Structure 1
Amino acid sequence: MKLKFSLIALFIFALGFAQNKGTITGTITDKDMNNETLPFASVAVKGTPNGTNADENGKYSLSVQPGTVTLVFGFLGYETKEVQVTVKANETKVLNQALASTSVQLEDVVIEKTVNREKETALLMDQKNAAIIKQSIGAQELTRKGVSDAAQAVTKVTGISKQEGNSGIFVRGLGDRYNSTMLNGLPLPSNEPENKNVALNLFSTDIIQSVGISKTYDVSQYGDMGGANVDIISKEHTGNGKLNVKIGSGLNNQAFDSNFKMADGANKSGFYNVNTPTSTKEYQFGTKWSPVTESNPVNGSFGISGGKNFNFKDDSRFSVFATANYGNGYTYKKGSQKNVTANDEVSTDYYNVNKYEFSTKTTLMANLAYKLDAKNTIKLNSIFVNASKSTVGEYDTYLGQGDARYEFNRQTLTQQNKLFVNQLLGKHDYSERLDIDWGASYSTVNADMPDRITNNLVRQDSGLYTFNTAAPTTNNRYFQYIDEKEYAFKAIGNLKVLKGEDELYKGKLSFGYNGRIKSRDFEATQFNFRVGQAENQFIDKNNLDSFLNASNQSLTQNVPGTFYITTSRLQSLKPFTYNADLSVHSGLANFEHNLSDKLTYTVGLRAEKVLQELKWDTNIPLTAVTPDDAKIDKVYILPAATLKYSVTEKSNLRAALSKTYTLPQFKEKAPFRYEGIGENSVGNPFLKASDNYNVDFKWEMFPENDEVYSAGVFGKYINNPISQVLLNSALNDNTFVNAGKSAYVAGIEFEMKKNIWKVDDVTKQTLSFGINGTLMYSHQELDSKKVAQETNGTLSVNFNDSSDALQGASPLLLNADLTYRIESGMFRPTVSVVGNYFHDRIYSLGSFDRGNIVEKGIMMLNFVSNTTINEKWTLGLTVENILNSRIRRVQENQSGDITTYNYKAGSDFSLSIKYSIF
């Protein structure tokens, strides 16, 4: 009885204590944006842990002890505001607060540096108020759609798709060479010899605050952009101290059911230390020729992240955010490949192909920000990413017409890409009218292929195997290394001008400098094993090391039962090399003017001095070609203009015009043969840059702060477009050429984010639907004589037609998602079904009566769910590629389409658990 009485008394006391508190409520707004609401801003009682965040409408409510308290209002990128308020017991007081941005913002004029935000509603507000045409996808939307990295993020944006087996993206049909990638407004180097841009899948969502995609050009960007500029904004810490731990696991259903194979020596950590042999007279290879079997192909991941603010006097603040993540994955593809001749004959039929891939990714990031005062901020950002792959590809094929024997090919390789980015950024407000935004970065890339193993065996009538000795290169080991360094700088001033009668400035003049200097050193060495087989000597394809070993090596050629080693330069250990350098120095000026409450325009001009140089010593004997033939030395004058008309408070009409250019990639110009099984590529040093002329018109409406409708048309005219094409070669080589004089792309785009059903009660339930799509037409001229003339006859192509569509240009792209979420309460699930589709597109242009190779359209369907429980736990479940869509390429020949690439990759299942320690 006493216990019962005590509990009742305690309850009454607690209830009375709670009722004696007061409540402060209100709306937080953006002072410089016509008092637009400021979603998710913070408000706290100074000197206490008592605080909260505003909702998506900028509204907040905070319970406080009776008396006089000091409230601290804040938001990243805005000046902190302290307000004293007196509250009585049981009183509810309304206190609205406007915050001013620390960056230059004009009423209804573009925000040059968008405030860092993660919420969809905040990013949509930025999109609505900006004068330029842009789109962003933030951390909230990335989580909702089950996006694990920046590569997946950009494919959720209208008009963007990704090519299977390649880290590059296509924007409105324009591939990797037409795009550019930045981190916090500074350019990133490439980590792959195949691409101009860094692999976006290196950047996991753990380090991403948002990803901005600009499909129209403005002069703040580098001019080497015809498709889009992708700017990854790294996470910074805001609010209270945080520390999160996350673990995950999963599997690929095909990999789990297979007898999974990995390269010998494949390190589960993803870090390798394999040295190139220094002699052909000694056997110095530390890993086995034959792969090993993985008994437990289950994916795993682990991550930890956290941050904290340190507040000092005079409003200065130091914040730190750091994260460390590791993940691995197993995938398995089973299918077939073919090479087809001009006579519709299959020259090589890999009728049974098995591809195994084990990948890892380790990410470390530290972000430090020091706010000296309300007008000066300095940031230091460092990111290290290590990505590795171990792949095993096994190919069975017929040896040749009239020969009953079979051929077995195996290629095993390890890859390790290390990217290290260091940035120093600053923002300074020198007066009410003038601010300076500056930055510098130093980035390094080590993209290594420390051991690629290629074997070619012949299966005899007896079913036993012998080495194929038709050529000295049929059994080889290949080592490739890339060292790339890049320095980048920016210094941009923004000056407010044209003060109006309302004391607000109506214009802004931006001016400044951008520069980047990058260099790449490439080297490759191949060791060829010339086998001298004894009569009736057979080999186990899964134990090649019983023959290819130190004791069996001979220095005498063609000794039965032994082998000897040569290199691609016979006995010389000197590697094949190319060295590429690029420097870009730019001056820019841009004027923005809020002509009226409804009309805003920008006009800008950028001048870029571009110097690209290349030197090589490779396996392509182009004796008539000199480094001067590969040199690009040019000044580009790049104008850009935009127009925005606010039809209503919630809808805009926009237009944009610009000129840009497209530089060839280093790999596309370097005369080096990159060899794979069934497909090679060769660079073209005569390749020229393209000039691009761009136009966009767009209408957009924002019915609610988390909804958008938009539609637009766009067009691009390209001088000297660059395309991939088949060479007249027995080796099935592709090369890159300025295929014709001109090309153009035209299309329409639409986007809709709509709440189908919404309940604004305590639970805040929402059922929303999103869809975006692009319908486009592309056309380019094809001129074989032009190619021969521009390459001095060193490259021979013979296009089948005088015109065709652009390589990579899919006429239809669609993205859609259906999401149900609960945003309040102890149990807050978010469940999404996400779909993507692209229609058929050209993979490589045909020539010499061999038709185009076309990548067939694919429908992808994913299921994503994340559930937050009690603010501490988050559970995630994802199923990717539910339909197990077939990946297929066909060659369009006269007798009909012939399938040249045909695989299924299986479905991926993953489960994750995140715990917030505090």
Structure 2
Amino acid sequence: MKKNFTLLFALVSAGVFAQNHIEVKGVLYNEQTKEKLCDTKFSVNDIELEATTDHNGNFKIALPEDAYELEISVDGYQKIRKTLDEENTINLFLQPQDIKIEGVDLSTAVITVQRNKAAEANLLNLQKKSTQIMENIGEVEMNRKGISDAAGAVAKMSGVTKQEGTGNVFVRGLGDRYNSTSLNGLPIPSENPGNKNIKLDLFSTDIIEYISMYKTYNSTINADFGGANVDITSKKYDGKGFFQIGLGTSVNSNAIDNAAYQLQNGPNYWGFKTTSIPTNVLGGYHFQNSLNPVSRPSLGGSMNVKGGKSYRLNNGSKFGFFASASFDSKGERLDQGVARTVDAHGNGIKDFHQFTSNQFNTNTTGLVNLFYDINPHHQLRANSIFINNSSQSFNEYRGNVRDINENENGLVRRATFERNTLFINQLLGDHKISERSDFNWGISFNTIKSEMPDRIQNTMRFTKGKYFLASQDASLSHRYFQELTENEWAANLAYSLKFGVDGSDYKAKLSVGYQGRLKQRELEANQFNLKINRGDVAVNPNQLDDFFNQNNYGSYFLISTFDSYNGTYRPQEYTGEQTIQAGFAEFEYHFSDRLMAIGGLRGEYINQLVDWRTALSEGKNEFDQFEVLPSLAVRYKMNEKNNLRFAASKTYTLPQFKERAMFVYEDVTEIERGNPMLYASTNYNADLKWEWFPKQGEILSVAAFGKYILDPINKVTIASSANDQSYANTGDWGYAIGVEVEARKAIIDHKGDHPEQLTLGLNAAYMHTKQELNDNKVFEETYFNGGRINTNFTFTEDSFTGASDLVLNADVSYSKKWEKGSSLLATVAYNYFSDRLYSLGTETRGNQVDKGFGTLDFILRTTVNENIGINLAAKNLLNPDIRRVQENLNGAVDILSYKRGMNFSLGINYKF
């Protein structure tokens, strides 16, 4: 009779090298008779290890180094739990049960290993066993590839590209509106009024255990889904106590040697300072910050501390905590750039032949994670995350400025400081009611405050060797204040019941649940125009305080807003409220050991209300709808190493608050406003995927996917003299089809005392997208308050914005470990995407296209001993030209281009 010998290794994040091993040895005894269990064969599941105790009961096995605790259960014996000691030597004494079981045979035993969830091999194993089509990237892989945040991590997955200069990602050619983001399965708000999703680069890898990307929909996730759902799992520490500190520095090649690295006056190094609107802003010039730029070092720095520990209590329960705090800053300069707005013939409307941008970003993150395992059947978890992110940009545009005189050279300077403060609070519970039933729940309250305090813009003309402030329009020089606050409550409840239970196996499972979300947003914006009365006074661009001051107020310039009366003003503002109530049911059925399927049905009620008062109009708009959304996922296990998968679903895509409010957003080269008549798209999705897992930690997979979208939403240029932009359902249909390939292979995989490994990784996606563009549809469907949106698309069909035909990620990693904790890990990573559409062509002008480019990174991580680690990274080594072109009648014209420069960083950490 075959008996199960189970070693349960609890989770821990103990090192960088998931594939390294530790040697565990000892003797297996019968506690009652003190006899050794000799010549006993056993195998270790999932890591392809077989071993046998010798004739003296001794065993010696190589286990993942992230294991620290084991629990042993043998039929006929009582369970025993043992912690691995520093010498990794364990003698195991098994106590027979009081009731003797006939026919107990210990000649064969099976050891089942539960690995660190963040380890690459374990995440591949989760992917292998899941019925849903998913991809994972964990802490170990992120460290190996030198990834510092969630945006960089997601961009390493197949079919994913990161939008240049932002934390936004495109999945299978579908951008922000088609994707969703969650933390531990609960939604998180966006910090940007123009985006649906939060910037993923706000989440540093210090607080991430792993990230799962669901490219196919299932009924347990929000149905506002088209490209993917990105779920971040925050760290949980379950192990011996540890404490670690780290310090680092970084430098950008464009900024380190540039005397022109200047930033806006006001913000501080740490990114926490906020500037308020003066109390008597229309009664004089009382702004707090100087207009004169300041020179600052571009050198970035980082520091972090983290620690955790778990405790086993006398009653058998377990408590643990993990806490981390980190600060990171980075200076960059975009150089050798141009920025233009052109007509259909490529002639410049605004033609800035010199564009530069000095940037300085900070990220402060704090995490506290608590868990309490009441017993193996009831577990509680609490997470609190605080993130303060700031970004400064000091942009200069030099060239012809149509607003002042198209024949004169000019200078437009815009200095922007943005601060985003996010506070996430979650409480989660997992309960095993019986061998057949489980109940899981989670609640969250998230709040975010996004501020743009005192954005400064000045427009100057250059004549006869001198600069003069432009006076043609009051808004050419202004100061702008914007504040967004958003609160969101969310709850998830799920109950599952298994049928035909046989040990850990079951024939079928029914899951039902409820999910609710309530989101409330308020945005307020004030622009104070500095109307120039004396445009004949020469100024020094770096000493504008000599012109804008209290002494010159009234005679040289005045301050005005869009809505002011008798010294008072009202801001532009909008509020938004969105409620989603959803119920779902899933039925999982195992037709055989090889074939299983999950059918799901989700019903969602959506209500969205937007209320605004802006320079364009004052009003409100509300829509509600009920959606019934089916889904199906099928997995056929061809053999132990091959899977064939299929998935199909119906989902929708909602418009965002900003897109439906009549609110004007003005940049130097773009102006956009909302469309209250915008409505949701409907998406039909299908995927077919084959997976092969040759060995532990290796995969080869090929996936084909297709999406058909009714009434797709796009950003469009309004046919008018102003060429403003808005949003509309631009056609009746659109589709995306493609193929994805993923491969991971170990070329060298030496275990033993000095483990050594050389691995190759590759993922690629080839896509084709197309959508209808219909001017009549836009005109007919956008009637509001007596007005309509007129468009004049250059083409009747085109690609989706953000879609690249080809996306490629590749990496080569070498690792080796020696005695006394010393180790080496080196990785070379390459990323490439082909041309992708940025904006649709109108008025016979061609499309605006982001030209494809590749990036090359090198990462080196070493540990001197068990305590000291040193990390080195060199990124963007190719330093390509980053270009956006407009394809016109006379050929493509660069409308935005620059070089970002190479980035180098060095860090050291010490673990106590």
TM-score past 0.5 threshold:
yes
Shift of 1:208: 0.2
CA distance in 2, matches of 1:435, 1:100: 23
Within the alignment, does 1:859 sit opposite 2:868 as a pair? Answer: no
Within the alignment, does 1:441 sit opposite 2:444 as a pair? Answer: yes
Write the deviation string for residues 368-427 of structure 1: whole angstroms up to 9, x where unpaired: 101111111111100000001121101111246997632111001111000000001011
Shift of 1:737: 1.3
| Residue of structure 1 in register with 2:811 after alignment | 817
From 669, 672, 679, the equivalent of 1:678 is 669
* Secondary structure in 2 matching 1:141: helix
- C-alpha spacing 1:636/1:53, structure 2 compared with 1 (3 Å): farther
Tell me the TM-score normalized by structure 2.
0.88
Shift of 1:824: 4.9
- C-alpha spacing 1:676/1:441, structure 2 compared with 1 (3 Å): same
| Residue of structure 2 in register with 1:290 after alignment | 292
Q: Aligned residues: percent identity?
A: 38
| Residue of structure 1 in register with 2:834 after alignment | 839
Shift of 1:281: 0.3
Q: What are the ranges of 5 or more consecutive residues in structure 2 without an aligned counterpart? A: 1-23, 30-42, 50-59, 72-76, 85-89, 96-105
| Residue of structure 2 in register with 1:882 after alignment | 877
Write the deviation string for residues 760-785 of structure 1: whole angstroms up to 9, x where unpaired: 34221111111001101101000011
Contact 1:675 1:681 in 2 (8 A): yes
Shift of 1:615: 0.6
Q: Which amino acid aligns with 1:617?
A: R
After TM superposition, the structure 1 = structure 2 runs for residues 497-516 of structure 1, keeping only pairs within 5 Å, are 497-499=499-501, 504-516=505-517
CA distance in 2, matches of 1:22, 1:902: 60
* Secondary structure in 2 matching 1:193: coil
Write the deviation string for residues 619-677 of structure 1: whole angstroms up to 9, x where unpaired: 223x7xx523xx23111111011111111101100000111100012222222111111
| Residue of structure 1 in register with 2:87 after alignment | none
Within the alignment, does 1:274 sit opposite 2:275 as a pair? Answer: yes
| Residue of structure 1 in register with 2:383 after alignment | 381
CA distance in 1, matches of 2:843, 2:82: 69
Contact 1:127 1:134 in 2 (8 A): yes
Shift of 1:278: 2.9
Write the deviation string for residues 720-760 of structure 1: whole angstroms up to 9, x where unpaired: 01112222244443222111000000011100001122223
* Secondary structure in 1 matching 2:625: strand
- C-alpha spacing 1:304/1:22, structure 2 compared with 1 (3 Å): closer
Within the alignment, does 1:795 sit opposite 2:789 as a pair? Answer: yes
| Residue of structure 2 in register with 1:903 after alignment | 898
Q: What are the ranges of 5 or more consecutive residues in structure 1 without an aligned counterpart? A: 1-20, 27-33, 41-50, 63-67, 76-80, 87-92, 102-114
| Residue of structure 1 in register with 2:774 after alignment | 783
| Residue of structure 2 in register with 1:208 after alignment | 208
| Residue of structure 2 in register with 1:184 after alignment | 184
Contact 2:838 2:847 in 1 (8 A): yes
CA distance in 1, matches of 2:758, 2:391: 39
Within the alignment, does 1:661 sit opposite 2:664 as a pair? Answer: no
Within the alignment, does 1:744 sit opposite 2:735 as a pair? Answer: yes
Contact 2:773 2:795 in 1 (8 A): yes
Write the deviation string for residues 675-703 of structure 1: whole angstroms up to 9, x where unpaired: 11112222221111110000000000111
Contact 1:37 1:57 in 2 (8 A): no
| Residue of structure 2 in register with 1:108 after alignment | none
Shift of 1:70: 9.5
Contact 2:44 2:110 in 1 (8 A): no
Shift of 1:431: 1.1
CA distance in 2, matches of 1:432, 1:707: 33
When structure 1 is superposed on structure 2, of 662-671 and 379-388 the one drifting more is 662-671
CA distance in 2, matches of 1:222, 1:803: 30
CA distance in 2, matches of 1:866, 1:688: 49
| Residue of structure 1 in register with 2:55 after alignment | none
| Residue of structure 1 in register with 2:411 after alignment | 408
Write the deviation string for residues 244-277 of structure 1: whole angstroms up to 9, x where unpaired: 1011001001011112111101211110231112
CA distance in 1, matches of 2:112, 2:310: 20
| Residue of structure 2 in register with 1:217 after alignment | 217
| Residue of structure 2 in register with 1:139 after alignment | 139
Contact 1:423 1:440 in 2 (8 A): yes
* Secondary structure in 1 matching 2:190: coil
* Secondary structure in 1 matching 2:474: coil
* Secondary structure in 1 matching 2:384: strand
Within the alignment, does 1:431 sit opposite 2:434 as a pair? Answer: yes
Q: Which amino acid aligns with 2:427?
A: L
| Residue of structure 2 in register with 1:241 after alignment | 241
Write the deviation string for residues 418-447 of structure 1: whole angstroms up to 9, x where unpaired: 000000101111111111100100000100
Shift of 1:56: 7.6
From 551, 564, 567, the equivalent of 2:561 is 567
CA distance in 2, matches of 1:494, 1:234: 24
RMSD value, Cα: 2.7
CA distance in 2, matches of 1:355, 1:731: 26
* Secondary structure in 2 matching 1:146: coil
| Residue of structure 1 in register with 2:518 after alignment | 517
CA distance in 2, matches of 1:221, 1:465: 56
After TM superposition, the structure 1 = structure 2 runs for residues 116-515 of structure 1, keeping only pairs within 5 Å, are 117-259=117-259, 260-279=261-280, 280-294=282-296, 296-334=297-335, 335-399=337-401, 405-461=408-464, 463-499=465-501, 504-515=505-516
CA distance in 2, matches of 1:419, 1:732: 35
* Secondary structure in 2 matching 1:520: strand
Within the alignment, does 1:589 sit opposite 2:589 as a pair? Answer: no
| Residue of structure 2 in register with 1:620 after alignment | 616
* Secondary structure in 1 matching 2:153: helix
Q: Say how many residue pairs are matched.
A: 836
* Secondary structure in 1 matching 2:201: helix
CA distance in 2, matches of 1:503, 1:118: 23
When structure 1 is superposed on structure 2, of 127-136 and 404-413 the one drifting more is 404-413
From 730, 747, 752, the equivalent of 1:756 is 747
CA distance in 1, matches of 2:78, 2:906: 45
Q: Which amino acid aligns with 1:540?
A: N
Write the deviation string for residues 282-338 of structure 1: whole angstroms up to 9, x where unpaired: 3221001121111x2211000000001121022211101000000100010020111
- C-alpha spacing 1:174/1:503, structure 2 compared with 1 (3 Å): closer
| Residue of structure 2 in register with 1:720 after alignment | 711
Q: Which amino acid aligns with 2:274?
A: N
- C-alpha spacing 1:36/1:587, structure 2 compared with 1 (3 Å): farther
Q: Which amino acid aligns with 2:448?
A: V
Shift of 1:227: 0.3
Tell me the TM-score normalized by structure 1.
0.87
CA distance in 1, matches of 2:844, 2:112: 66
From 93, 103, 115, the equivalent of 1:84 is 93
Shift of 1:24: 4.1
Contact 1:39 1:122 in 2 (8 A): no
| Residue of structure 2 in register with 1:14 after alignment | none
Write the deviation string for residues 459-484 of structure 1: whole angstroms up to 9, x where unpaired: 111x1111100011111000000000
Shift of 1:573: 1.9
CA distance in 2, matches of 1:614, 1:600: 44
- C-alpha spacing 1:100/1:903, structure 2 compared with 1 (3 Å): closer
| Residue of structure 1 in register with 2:635 after alignment | 644
CA distance in 2, matches of 1:368, 1:282: 52
- C-alpha spacing 1:275/1:235, structure 2 compared with 1 (3 Å): same
Write the deviation string for residues 73-97 of structure 1: whole angstroms up to 9, x where unpaired: 589xxxxx996349xxxxxx99967
* Secondary structure in 1 matching 2:471: coil
Contact 1:765 1:823 in 2 (8 A): yes
* Secondary structure in 1 matching 2:251: strand
Q: Which amino acid aligns with 2:694?
A: P
| Residue of structure 2 in register with 1:606 after alignment | 602
| Residue of structure 2 in register with 1:828 after alignment | 823
Contact 2:338 2:897 in 1 (8 A): yes
Q: Which amino acid aligns with 1:842?
A: L
